[in-house]
C-alpha cells in the first residue's frame, strides 16, 4: 500500500534526500504559500458580510483553510519535489543471506519448524527476485558462519548455541574486499551471548551495510515454564544451610501448582510445592537446603514440568557451589563470666566447621582462654598486631567496655572488618554498646546501628522477640523452612533474660529481629556490610534462656547461633582469593581467572608469584601462570579456554619469596547447548534493534516479498545516485481530491451549495 | 518461793521467745541491703531445696527453713544462709561475675529452676525425688545446667546419694576427677587438694566424718565430656565457707573451699 501511494518503497524515503527540481528560486515557494494564505484571509475578510449567513462564524475560516491547503500542495508540486537516493548498482553487488541454524530454530510451530519456515520463505520467490539484480550468498550460522550452496543444505537445526554478533563480524571479515550491499538475517533472535555486541554493529556501520532482519517464531508461547535465574552462594562451608532464590516465569498455568526441587546429582536436597502466579509475571521463590559435605557441587534447580508443556528443558537450571572443607576460626572476647558465653560456646561446639576461640575476663587480672590451638595463642591478651588478629575470620565482642581496648586495638578491629573482610558481632551486655561507650570508639562507624546517647541502656528485664520481614527469609534466623511458620516460631520463643537499647539502625542496615519490652519495640539483630566485611549487633545477653526453657532436644538456640556464626565467617576469605567471572560458561570456554593476593596484614602483595594447576574432565590437566593486572596491585590474571564441556577445578598457589601465602580453589563448568533451551520466544527486540542500528528494517515473514524492492536502497557496496520524481505520486492527487471533497461536503452541509 | 517461780517462768518465757525469734534476727543480720532479694543479676547463687528422706516423712521440704543453727533438720538448708552469703562476698571480690548478694532457693517442683543454670545442693545423701522432679533435674542438666553437691560422707551416704542420682541420670557414669581436669584450673590451679572438714574439726581435730576418710572429687559428664554434676564427697565445703570467719577454723581449709567453689562456678559458666 505504501509503495502504491508514494510510488517508491519506504526504504527510498528512509535513505533518500528530498530536493526541489523546479527552476524557480526555492525561497519563492514558502513566500508564495504565505502570500496565498494572506490573500485568502484578506479576501474572506472583505467578503464575509456578503457571505451566506450560515458561514458567518468559524465556518468561513475552515473553508479558507481547506482552500489554502489545496493551493499549498499545488504550489509544492509546481516546484517538482524529488528524492535523491543511493541505489545499489544492479548485478554489481552481493546480498548476504544468513539463516539461523541453532537448535532453537528447530521449535515446531504451526506444523513446521522455524527453520523450515525460513527456507520456505526464501524459496517462495524472494531468492529468485534478489538474484535478478544481485549476486546472493547464502550462509547458515550458529556460533560461527558457514557458506552453503542453497537452502536445501539447511536443517535440521541442531547447533547448540547462537552468536549473532560473532557471525556478523565473521561475515564482515570474509567479505572485506567484496561489494557487500546488504545483509538479510533470518532468525528467531535467540542469542546466547546476551545480545549483539558493539564490535559487530560498528563493523556493519563502518561499511554502511544495512541488516534486514526477518523474525521467525512466536513472540509469546502459549504454555511454558522457564527458570530465569537462580541466586545461590557460590562458596559455602561444609554442612551449611543454604537459601537459594529461584526466579521463574510461566504462561498458561496461572494458579496451578507444581514442585520446586533442588538436586545434587540424583539426591534431592529439598523440595516444596509452589503455586504459579498470574501468567507472564516474574515469580520468585526461595528454597532452603543443607549443602552437605565438602566438594564442588553442581546443583540442579527444577520446576517440575506440567502436562502439555512442550519445552521442558528450560525448567531446569544448574548452579555450581564450592563447599569448603576448612573450619573457620572465630575470636570471642568476653568481659565477664555470663551465661550467654557458655551457651554460645556449647552451640558452636556442635558445629565442626566453627572453631570458637574465646577469651574471658574471669577476674580483673585473669583471662581464661578456650579453644586455643596452644598455650602461646592469645597468651598476651587481645591481639595488638594485624598478623595476630587477622588470623581469625570473625570477631565477637561481648560485655566489655570500649575503653578496655587500646586505640591501636580499636583501629585493628576496624581494619579487621574493612580491610581483612572479617565479620564482627557485638553482643548486648552491661558493658556493651552504649553502656560500654562504643559510640565514641573507632569502631562506631562499623556498627549497623547509631547507638543511643548516654548509658543505662542495658536492662535485666524480660523481652519477647519477633522477626521482621527481612528476618523471615534470612539464613541467620531461619529456624523452620516455611517463612510464615518461621515467623510464628520466633514469636513463640521464650522471652530473653535481658535486653539493651541498640539505638537506630543505620541506612542500609537490615533489621532481622526485634524485641519487645512492654509497649516498646527495639531492634534485636541488625546486620550490614562494611568494607570487605560485615557487622552485626545482637542487643541482648539473654538468648541462653531459649536453650534452658525450651523442651530438651529443641535445637532453636543452637541452630540460631550456628547460623549466625556461619554468616559471620561465610564470606571471609584468606590472603589468596581466586575468582572467575562466571561459574558456568555457556557454549564458550573462554574464562579469565583472577587472583587477589594480600600480605599478612592484608595489604596488596604486588610482588607475589601466582601459579595454578587445573584439572578438567576426562583427565585433562593444565598449568597456568598468572600475570599482574596493570594498575591493580596485588591482582593477577590468567586467560584460559575450556576445550570441552564439563567441570574444571583450578587450585591456585601464591608465594612471596620463601613465604607461602596460601592456596585457593576456583571451579567452573562449561555447558554446551543449554542456553538454546531458554528464551525460545522470538526475540523481536533484538532483531529490531539490530536492523534499526544499521539502517535496515525488521520484517515479519509475510513482509518478505517487499524485500527485493527495498534492498537496493543501500549505501554500501557499489552504488549509483538516482533522482526519483515525486510530483506524480498518487498520494499528492489524492490529497488534493480529498481537500476539495471536504470543502464541497462542508459547503453542502452548511447549505451554501 | 513464789518470786523464785515467777523468775523461773519469766526466764523460761524469755528463753523460749528468744529461741523462737532468733532465726528472724539472724536472718535480718544477713540482710543489710534494704531489698537485696529484688536485685537483678547475671548470677544467682542457687540452693536446691529438695525432699529429704531423713526428715521428709512429714512431707514437703522438712521443717520450714532451718537456718543452720540447730533449727530445723531439713538437709537442703544445711549452713544456710551464712555459708551462701559469705561465699558470695568472695565471689564478688575475686571475680568479675555480676551476682546478687543473697542466695536464691530453687526447687524441682516448677520450671523456674531453668532460669538458674548453676545450683548447689548439700546433704544429698538424704535427697529423694518424685519421678517428675527427677525428670526435671535430668532435663535441667542435659540442657546445660550445672549441679554441685557437697557435705555427704562415707559409704552409706554415697549409696543413698547415688540412689537419687540414678533416678536422675541412670546411664551416665560417675568418674574420679584427675588433678589435671580443667575444672581445677579454670580460675585457680588446684592440682593438689586436701580434705576440707566441717566445723567439727575445731573441736575434734578430725578432718573426716563417718567413714569418709579420703576426699572424693568426682563428676558426671554429658555426652560431650562436659561436667554437669560436680560431686564433693567426704568433705564439707559449705561449713568452710560458713566458718571462715571463725578464728579457730584453719585458714587453709577455708581458702581451699573458696577456691574450689569459685572454680566450680566459673567452670559451670564456661562449659
- Residue B31 predicted with pLDDT over 70: no
Report the run of H or E that residue A391 belongs to, with start and end. Answer: none
Within 10 A of A142 (CB to CB), how many other CB atoms are there? 25
pLDDT of residue A135: 92
Q: In the predicted model, what is the mean pLDDT of residues A405-416?
A: 97
CB A284 within 8 A of CB A245: yes
- Residue B16 predicted with pLDDT over 80: no
Q: Provide, as residue numbers in chain B, all residues whose Cβ is less than 8 Å from the Cβ of A343.
A: 144
CB A208 within 8 A of CB A199: no
Q: Provide, as residue numbers in chain B, all residues whose Cβ is less than 8 Å from the Cβ of A549.
A: 111, 114-115
How close is the nearest chain A Cα to the Cα of B185, in Å? 10
Report the run of H or E that residue A308 belongs to, with start and end. Answer: none
CB A88 within 8 A of CB A718: yes
- Whether chain B has a CB inside 8 Å of the CB on A362: the answer is yes
Locate the DSSP E strands across A403-462.
423-427, 449-450, 458-459
Q: Provide, as residue numbers in chain A, all residues whose Cβ is less than 8 Å from the Cβ of B43.
A: 337-338
pLDDT of residue A106: 86
Q: CA-CA distance, A367 to A611, in Å (whole number)? A: 43
Nearest to A362 among B43, B95, B144 (CB): B95
pLDDT in tens, A476-513: 999 998 889 999 999 999 999 999 999 999 999 999 99
**DSSP-derived 3-state class of residue A394:** strand
Which chain B residue's Cα is nearest to A367? Answer: B187
Q: In chain A, what are the helix, strand and coil shares in percent, each to the nearest 5?
A: 30, 35, 35
Q: How far is CA B12 from CA A741, B3, B19, in A?
A: 139, 14, 10
Q: In the predicted model, what is the mean pLDDT of residues B194-221?
A: 97
Q: CA-CA distance, A425 to B240, in Å (whole number)? A: 42
Q: CA-CA distance, B44 to B36, in Å (whole number)? A: 12
Mode of pairing for the β-strands spanning A719-725 and B104-107: unpaired
Q: CA-CA distance, A531 to A291, in Å (whole number)? A: 28
pLDDT of residue B111: 97
Going by C-alpha positions, the residue among B118, B121, B176 that lies closest to residue B152 is: B121
Within 10 A of A644 (CB to CB), how many other CB atoms are there? 12
pLDDT in tens, A597-639: 999 999 999 999 999 999 999 889 999 999 999 999 999 999 9
Residue of B40, B97, B98 to mutate for A, most A C-beta atoms under 10 A:
B98
DSSP chain B: -HHHHHHHHHHHHHHHHHHHHHHHHHHHHT--SSSGGG---SB--EEEE-EETTTGGGSTTSSTT--SSSS---GGGTTTTHHHHHHHHHHHHHS---B-SS-EEEETTSGGGGG--EEEEE-GGGEE--HHHHHHHHHHHHHT-EEEEE-B-HHHHHHHHHHHHHHH-SSPPEEEPPTT-GGGTSSS--SS------THHHHH-----TT--S-EEEEEE-TTS-EEEEEEESB-HHHHHHTTT-TTS-HHHHHHHHHHHHHHHHHHTT-
Q: Considering the domain B40-268 in this protein, what is its CATH number?
A: 3.40.50.12140
Whether the upstream peptide bond of residue B81 has omega within 30° of 0, thus cis, is yes
CB A360 within 8 A of CB A386: no
Cβ contact, residue pair B139, A552, below 8 Å? yes
- The rounded mean pLDDT for chain A is 92
Q: How far is CA B254 from CA B123, B154, B218, in A?
A: 19, 21, 20
How close is the nearest chain A Cα to the Cα of B71, in Å? 35
Give the model's confidence band at A207: pLDDT under 50 very low, under 70 low, under 90 confident, else very high.
very high
pLDDT of residue A629: 97
More confident residue, A195 or A466: A466
- Residue B23 predicted with pLDDT over 60: no
Helices B251-268 and B82-94, interaxial angle, to 10°?
70
Edge-to-edge strands, sheet with B174-176: B104-107, B46-49, B118-122, B146-150, B227-233, B216-221, B174-176
CB A40 within 8 A of CB A72: no
Q: CA-CA distance, A118 to A122, in Å (whole number)? A: 6
Q: CA-CA distance, A740 to A121, in Å (whole number)? A: 44
- Whether chain B has a CB inside 8 Å of the CB on A335: the answer is yes
- Whether chain B has a CB inside 8 Å of the CB on A369: the answer is no
Give first-to-last CA distance, chain B, whole Å. 71
pLDDT of residue A538: 98
pLDDT of residue A753: 67
- Residue B100 predicted with pLDDT over 90: yes
- Residue B67 predicted with pLDDT over 60: no
Measured in degrees and rounded to the nearest 5, phi and psi for residue A655 equal -130, 155
Which chain A residue's Cα is nearest to B116? Answer: A548
pLDDT of residue B65: 41
- Whether chain B has a CB inside 8 Å of the CB on A401: the answer is no
pLDDT in tens, A281-303: 899 998 989 999 999 899 999 99
Q: CA-CA distance, B184 to A723, in Å (whole number)? A: 108
Within 10 A of A708 (CB to CB), how many other CB atoms are there? 20
CA atoms lying within 13 Å on the CB side of residue A647: 14
Give the model's confidence band at B70: pLDDT under 50 very low, under 70 low, under 90 confident, else very high.
very low
CB A475 within 8 A of CB A444: no
pLDDT of residue A363: 97
CB A352 within 8 A of CB A327: yes
pLDDT in tens, A1-53: 888 899 888 888 888 889 999 888 999 999 999 999 999 888 888 887 777 77
Q: In the predicted model, what is the mean pLDDT of residues B211-238?
A: 98
Going by C-alpha positions, the residue among A568, A619, A572 that lies closest to residue A598 is: A572
Q: CA-CA distance, A137 to A131, in Å (whole number)? A: 10
DSSP A684-740: HHHHHHHHHHHT--EE-GGGGGGHHHHTT--SSSSEEEEEEE-TT-HHHHHHHHHHH
Nearest to A368 among B42, B140, B186 (CB): B186
CA atoms lying within 13 Å on the CB side of residue B232: 30
ipTM (interface pTM)? 0.86
CA atoms lying within 13 Å on the CB side of residue B13: 6
Give the model's confidence band at B33: pLDDT under 50 very low, under 70 low, under 90 confident, else very high.
low
pLDDT of residue A234: 87
CB B99 within 8 A of CB B41: yes
Residue of A351, A352, A363 to mutate for B, most B C-beta atoms under 10 A:
A363
Q: CA-CA distance, A172 to A716, in Å (whole number)? A: 12
pLDDT in tens, B137-168: 999 999 999 999 999 999 999 999 999 999 99
**DSSP-derived 3-state class of residue A46:** helix
pLDDT of residue A1: 82
Q: CA-CA distance, A653 to A639, in Å (whole number)? A: 16
CB A638 within 8 A of CB A628: no
Going by C-alpha positions, the residue among A383, A396, A421, A392 that lies closest to residue A345 is: A396
Which chain A residue's Cα is nearest to B266? Answer: A337
**DSSP-derived 3-state class of residue A45:** helix
Q: CA-CA distance, B84 to B69, in Å (whole number)? A: 14
Q: In the predicted model, what is the mean pLDDT of residues A84-104?
A: 90
Q: Which region among A446-460, A486-500, B12-26, B246-260 has the lowest average model confidence (pLDDT)?
A: B12-26
**DSSP-derived 3-state class of residue A54:** helix
- Residue A666 predicted with pLDDT over 80: yes
* Residue positions counted in chain A: 753
pLDDT in tens, A249-273: 999 999 999 999 999 988 999 999 9
pLDDT of residue A3: 83
- Whether chain B has a CB inside 8 Å of the CB on A219: the answer is no
- Whether chain B has a CB inside 8 Å of the CB on A376: the answer is no
Going by C-alpha positions, the residue among A133, A193, A131 that lies closest to residue A168 is: A193
- Whether chain B has a CB inside 8 Å of the CB on A341: the answer is yes
Q: Provide, as residue numbers in chain B, all residues whose Cβ is less than 8 Å from the Cβ of A551.
A: 139
**DSSP-derived 3-state class of residue A123:** helix
Q: CA-CA distance, B95 to A363, in Å (whole number)? A: 4
* Helices and strands, counts by H and E, chain A: 18, 41
Residue of A337, A401, A555 to mutate for B, most B C-beta atoms under 10 A:
A337
pLDDT of residue B2: 52
Domains of chain A (ranges, CATH numbers): 2-87+723-750 (no CATH), 90-219+681-717 (3.40.50.410), 224-324 (2.60.40.150), 339-570 (3.40.50.880), 576-675 (2.60.40.10)
Q: Give the domain ranges of chain B.
A: 1-29, 40-268
Give the model's confidence band at B11: pLDDT under 50 very low, under 70 low, under 90 confident, else very high.
low
SS (H, E, C) A201-262: HHHHHHCCCCEEEEECCCCCCCCEEEEEEEECCCEEECCCEEEEEEEEEEECCCCCEEEEEE
Amino acid at each position: 500500500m505504501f509503495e502504491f501511494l508514494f510510488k517508491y518503497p519506504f526504504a527510498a524515503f528512509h535513505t533518500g534526500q528530498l530536493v526541489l527540481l523546479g527552476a524557480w528560486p526555492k525561497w519563492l515557494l514558502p513566500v508564495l504559500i504565505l502570500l496565498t494564505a494572506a490573500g485568502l484571509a484578506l479576501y474572506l475578510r472583505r467578503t464575509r458580510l456578503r457571505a451566506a449567513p450560515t458561514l458567518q462564524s468559524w465556518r468561513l475560516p475552515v473553508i479558507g483553510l481547506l482552500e489554502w491547503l489545496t493551493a499549498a500542495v499545488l504550489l509544492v508540486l509546481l516546484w517538482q519535489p524529488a528524492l535523491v537516493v543511493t541505489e545499489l548498482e544492479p548485478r554489481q553487488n552481493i546480498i548476504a543471506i544468513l539463516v539461523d541454524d541453532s537448535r532453537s530454530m528447530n521449535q515446531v510451530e504451526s506444523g513446521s519448524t522455524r527453520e523450515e519456515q525460513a527456507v520456505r520463505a526464501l524459496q517462495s520467490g524472494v531468492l529468485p527476485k534478489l538474484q535478478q539484480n544481485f549476486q546472493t550468498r547464502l550462509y547458515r550460522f550458529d556460533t560461527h558462519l558457514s557458506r552453503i550452496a542453497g537452502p536445501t543444505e539447511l536443517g535440521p537445526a541442531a547447533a547448540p548455541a547462537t552468536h549473532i554478533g560473532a557471525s556478523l563480524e565473521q561475515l564482515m571479515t570474509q567479505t572485506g574486499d567484496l561489494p557487500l550491499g546488504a545483509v538479510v538475517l533470518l532468525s528467531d533472535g535467540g542469542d546466547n551471548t546476551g545480545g549483539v555486541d558493539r564490535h559487530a554493529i560498528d563493523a556493519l556501520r563502518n561499511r554502511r551495510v544495512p541488516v534486514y532482519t526477518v523474525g521467525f517464531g512466536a513472540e509469546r508461547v502459549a504454555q511454558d515454564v522457564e527458570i530465569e535465574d537462580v541466586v545461590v552462594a557460590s562458596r559455602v562451608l561444609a554442612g551449611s544451610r543454604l537459601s537459594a532464590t529461584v526466579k521463574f516465569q510461566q504462561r498458561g498455568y496461572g494458579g496451578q501448582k507444581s514442585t520446586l526441587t533442588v538436586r545434587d546429582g540424583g539426591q534431592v536436597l529439598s523440595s516444596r510445592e509452589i503455586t504459579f502466579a498470574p501468567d507472564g509475571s516474574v515469580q520468585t521463590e526461595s528454597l532452603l537446603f543443607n549443602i552437605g559435605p565438602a566438594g564442588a557441587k553442581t546443583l540442579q534447580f527444577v520446576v517440575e514440568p506440567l502436562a502439555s508443556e512442550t519445552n521442558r528443558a528450560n525448567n531446569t537450571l544448574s548452579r555450581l557451589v564450592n563447599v569448603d572443607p576448612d573450619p573457620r576460626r572465630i575470636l570471642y572476647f568476653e568481659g565477664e563470666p555470663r551465661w550467654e558465653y557458655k551457651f554460645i560456646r556449647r552451640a558452636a561446639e556442635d558445629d565442626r566447621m566453627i572453631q570458637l576461640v574465646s577469651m574471658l575476663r574471669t577476674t580483673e587480672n585473669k583471662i581464661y582462654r578456650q579453644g586455643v590451638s596452644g598455650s602461646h595463642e592469645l597468651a598476651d591478651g587481645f591481639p595488638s598486631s594485624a598478623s595476630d588478629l587477622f588470623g581469625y575470620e570473625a570477631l565477637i565482642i561481648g560485655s566489655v567496655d570500649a575503653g578496655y581496648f587500646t586505640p591501636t586495638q580499636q583501629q585493628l578491629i576496624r581494619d579487621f572488618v574493612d580491610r581483612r573482610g572479617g565479620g564482627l558481632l557485638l553482643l548486648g551486655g552491661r558493658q556493651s554498646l552504649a553502656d560500654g561507650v562504643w559510640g565514641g570508639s573507632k569502631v562506631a562507624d562499623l556498627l549497623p546501628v547509631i547507638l543511643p546517647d548516654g548509658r543505662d541502656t542495658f536492662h535485666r528485664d524480660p523481652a519477647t522477640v519477633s522477626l521482621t520481614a527481612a528476618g523471615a527469609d534470612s539464613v541467620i534466623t531461619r529456624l523452620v523452612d516455611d517463612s510464615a511458620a518461621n515467623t510464628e516460631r520466633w514469636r513463640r520463643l521464650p522471652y530473653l533474660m535481658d535486653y539493651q537499647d541498640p539505638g537506630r539502625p543505620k541506612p542500609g542496615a537490615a533489621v532481622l529481629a526485634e524485641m519487645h519490652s512492654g509497649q516498646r519495640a527495639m531492634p534485636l539483630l541488625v546486620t550490614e556490610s562494611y568494607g570487605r566485611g560485615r557487622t552485626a549487633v545482637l542487643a541482648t545477653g539473654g538468648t541462653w534462656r531459649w536453650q534452658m526453657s525450651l523442651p530438651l532436644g529443641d535445637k532453636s538456640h543452637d541452630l540460631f547461633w550456628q547460623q549466625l556464626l556461619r554468616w559471620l565467617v561465610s564470606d571471609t576469605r584468606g590472603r589468596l582469593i581466586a575468582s572467575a567471572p562466571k561459574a558456568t560458561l555457556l557454549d564458550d570456554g573462554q574464562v579469565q581467572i583472577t587472583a587477589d593476593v594480600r600480605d599478612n596484614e592484608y595489604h596488596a602483595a604486588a610482588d607475589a608469584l601466582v601459579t595454578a594447576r587445573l584439572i578438567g574432565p576426562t583427565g585433562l590437566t593444565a598449568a597456568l601462570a598468572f600475570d599482574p593486572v596493570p594498575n591493580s596491585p596485588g591482582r593477577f590474571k590468567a586467560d584460559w579456554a575450556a576445550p570441552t564441556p564439563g567441570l574444571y577445578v583450578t587450585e591456585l598457589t601464591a608465594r612471596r619469596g620463601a613465604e607461602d601465602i596460601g592456596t585457593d580453589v576456583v571451579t567452573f563448568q562449561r555447558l554446551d547447548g543449554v542456553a538454546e533451551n531458554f528464551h525460545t520466544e522470538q526475540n523481536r527486540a533484538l532483531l529490531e534493534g539490530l536492523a534499526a542500528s544499521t539502517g535496515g528494517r525488521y520484517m515479519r515473514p509475510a513482509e518478505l516479498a517487499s524485500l527485493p524492492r527495498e534492498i537496493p536502497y543501500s549505501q554500501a557496496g557499489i552504488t549509483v545516485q538516482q533522482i526519483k520524481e515525486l510530483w506524480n505520486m498518487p498520494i499528492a492527487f489524492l490529497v488534493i481530491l480529498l481537500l476539495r471533497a471536504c470543502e464541497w461536503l462542508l459547503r453542502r452541509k452548511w447549505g451554501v451549495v | 518461793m513464789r518470786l523464785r517461780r515467777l523468775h523461773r517462768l519469766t526466764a523460761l518465757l524469755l528463753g523460749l521467745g528468744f529461741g523462737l525469734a532468733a532465726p528472724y534476727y539472724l536472718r535480718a543480720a544477713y540482710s543489710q541491703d534494704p531489698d537485696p532479694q529484688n536485685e537483678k543479676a547475671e548470677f544467682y547463687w542457687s540452693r536446691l531445696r529438695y525432699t529429704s528422706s531423713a526428715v521428709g516423712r512429714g512431707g514437703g521440704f522438712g521443717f520450714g527453713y532451718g537456718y543452720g543453727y540447730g533449727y530445723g533438720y531439713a538437709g537442703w538448708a544445711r549452713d544456710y544462709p551464712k555459708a551462701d552469703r559469705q561465699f558470695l562476698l568472695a565471689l564478688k571480690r575475686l571475680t568479675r561475675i555480676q551476682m546478687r548478694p543473697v542466695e536464691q532457693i530453687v526447687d524441682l517442683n516448677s520450671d523456674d529452676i531453668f532460669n538458674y543454670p548453676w545450683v548447689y545442693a548439700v546433704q544429698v545423701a538424704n535427697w529423694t525425688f518424685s519421678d517428675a522432679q527427677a525428670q526435671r533435674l535430668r532435663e535441667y542438666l542435659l540442657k546445660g545446667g550445672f549441679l554441685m553437691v557437697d557435705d555427704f560422707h562415707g559409704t552409706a551416704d554415697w549409696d543413698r546419694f547415688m540412689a537419687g542420682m540414678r533416678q536422675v541420670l541412670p546411664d551416665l557414669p560417675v568418674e574420679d576427677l584427675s588433678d589435671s581436669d580443667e575444672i581445677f584450673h579454670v580460675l585457680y590451679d588446684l592440682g593438689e587438694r586436701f580434705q576440707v572438714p566441717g566445723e567439727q574439726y575445731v573441736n575434734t581435730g578430725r578432718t573426716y566424718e563417718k567413714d569418709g576418710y579420703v576426699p572424693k572429687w568426682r563428676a558426671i559428664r554429658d555426652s560431650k565430656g562436659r561436667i554437669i554434676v560436680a560431686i564433693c564427697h567426704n568433705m564439707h565445703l559449705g561449713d568452710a565457707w560458713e566458718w571462715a570467719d571463725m578464728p579457730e577454723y584453719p585458714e587453709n581449709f577455708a581458702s581451699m573451699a573458696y577456691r574450689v567453689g569459685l572454680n566450680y562456678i566459673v567452670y559451670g559458666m564456661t562449659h
